[in-house]
């Protein structure tokens, strides 16, 4: 187990505030046989300076002109050698035992090639998360990819440790894609593996406070591309599974964001509404509390979702 080389691949863009913490969470892994490849995507801040302060032979830095996160990830992958691959964003944090615990899963499931850890979100400060606990007891369970997509299906790179053999030339990161990059990379792999090993308590920490990340905010162009990716994902899932339950998370996402991201133009609203109907019609997403279901029976689903969006906008401002 200790001899398994894990490649940790990190695209960076103007990440000077976070990159040191992220890099140290990699170097502090209890599984020591790692290589870390960072690809700087044309940063204009002191990201590279911060990285240079950390001296470790396992850290390799490549620079490119600003071409986007997907191009950076593909370049990192091309220059990596690990049997297992961990994609990571430049502001996320791994628990020290994260990779060790995930690799332990292959003792119980020798044929496993797609491992997913628990994930917690935090707003910015490392004081919000526990990186010192060593009493965590990893627990493993195998589920079908169909159940995974329906029940959670998150595709945050930090949570996923996958075998290199799963990444073929036609399953690389789509370099022209400006939004929904994670789903468009991981979902074609997920439907191919069929079974996924979940690793309870192998913790990943996803930072939500970084407004300077590569992904950026939702513009009209991004909203249009986002809708197109959901159409492609729906097509992929329809081809891969006979049960339409895998389509429910897509429909829920479209409904949840209809009055936000997908209401920028009349054409975008109409196209989104058409896709929602093709996927089975309007619904209250499962992640919303029961009060929304109750209110929808009186006011209607669309009215409740509109009021929720207005509430979100008012509190944000």
SS3 state of residue 250: helix
Collect the ranges in the chain with pLDDT lower than 70: 133-136, 210-217, 316-317
Quick one: pLDDT at residue 37? 98
In a domain, 117, yes or no: yes
Residue 299's contacts (CB-CB under 8 Å, 6 or more residues apart) are 307
Say if residue 119 is in the same domain as residue 165.
yes
Pairing of strands 34-41, 114-122: unpaired
In a domain, 43, yes or no: yes
Quick one: pLDDT at residue 214? 44
Quick one: pLDDT at residue 313? 81
Query: Tens digit of pLDDT for each residue in 239-284?
Result: 999 989 999 999 999 999 999 999 999 999 999 999 999 999 999 9
In a domain, 265, yes or no: yes
Boundary residue ending a domain (174, 207, 240) = 207
CATH of the domain at 80: 3.90.550.10
In a domain, 214, yes or no: no
In a domain, 1, yes or no: no
Q: Which token pair is 268?
A: 């975008």
Say if residue 272 is in the same domain as residue 143.
no
Would you call 112 exposed, middle or buried from its count of C-beta atoms within 10 A (0-12, 13-18, 19+)? buried
Quick one: pLDDT at residue 215? 45
Quick one: pLDDT at residue 128? 82
In a domain, 72, yes or no: yes
Quick one: pLDDT at residue 257? 93
Say if residue 167 is in the same domain as residue 238.
no
In a domain, 212, yes or no: no
Domain holding 163, by residue range, is: 6-207
SS3 state of residue 12: strand
Say if residue 199 is in the same domain as residue 255.
no
Say if residue 157 is in the same domain as residue 111.
yes
Say if residue 66 is in the same domain as residue 140.
yes
Quick one: pLDDT at residue 316? 64
Say if residue 103 is in the same domain as residue 237.
no
Nearest Cα residue to 253 out of 187, 162, 161? 187
Alpha helices in 204-289 (DSSP H): 220-240, 248-257, 266-278
């Amino acid at each position: 187990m200790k001899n398994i080389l894990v490649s940790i691949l990190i695209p960076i863009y103007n990440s000077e505030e976070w990159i040191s913490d992220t890099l140290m969470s990699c170097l502090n892994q209890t599984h020591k046989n790692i290589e870390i490849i960072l690809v700087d995507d044309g940063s204009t801040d002191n990201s590279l300076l911060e990285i240079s302060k950390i001296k470790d032979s396992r850290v390799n830095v490549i620079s490119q002109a600003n071409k986007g996160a997907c191009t950076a990830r593909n370049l990192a992958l091309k220059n990596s050698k690990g049997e297992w691959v961990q994609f990571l964003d430049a502001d996320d944090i791994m628990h020290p035992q994260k990779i060790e615990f995930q690799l332990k899963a292959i003792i119980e499931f020798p044929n496993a090639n797609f491992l997913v850890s628990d994930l917690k979100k935090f707003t910015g400060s490392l004081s919000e998360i526990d990186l010192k606990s060593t009493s965590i007891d990893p627990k493993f369970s195998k589920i079908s990819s169909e159940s995974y997509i329906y029940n959670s299906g998150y595709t945050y790179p930090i949570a996923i440790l996958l075998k290199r053999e799963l990444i073929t030339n036609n399953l690389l990161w789509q370099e022209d894609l400006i939004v929904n990059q994670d789903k468009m990379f991981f979902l074609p792999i997920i439907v191919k593996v069929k079974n996924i090993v979940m690793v309870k308590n192998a913790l990943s920490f996803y930072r939500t406070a970084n407004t300077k990340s590569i992904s950026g905010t939702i513009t009209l162009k991004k909203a249009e591309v986002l809708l197109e990716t959901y159409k492609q994902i729906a097509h992929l899932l329809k081809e891969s599974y006979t049960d339409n339950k895998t389509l429910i998370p897509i429909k829920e996402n479209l409904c949840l964001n209809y009055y936000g991201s997908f209401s920028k133009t009349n054409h975008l609203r109409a196209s989104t509404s058409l896709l929602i109907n093709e996927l089975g019609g309007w619904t209250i997403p499962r992640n919303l509390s029961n009060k929304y279901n109750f209110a929808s029976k009186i006011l209607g689903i669309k009215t409740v979702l509109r009021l929720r969006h207005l509430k979100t906008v008012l509190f944000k401002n």
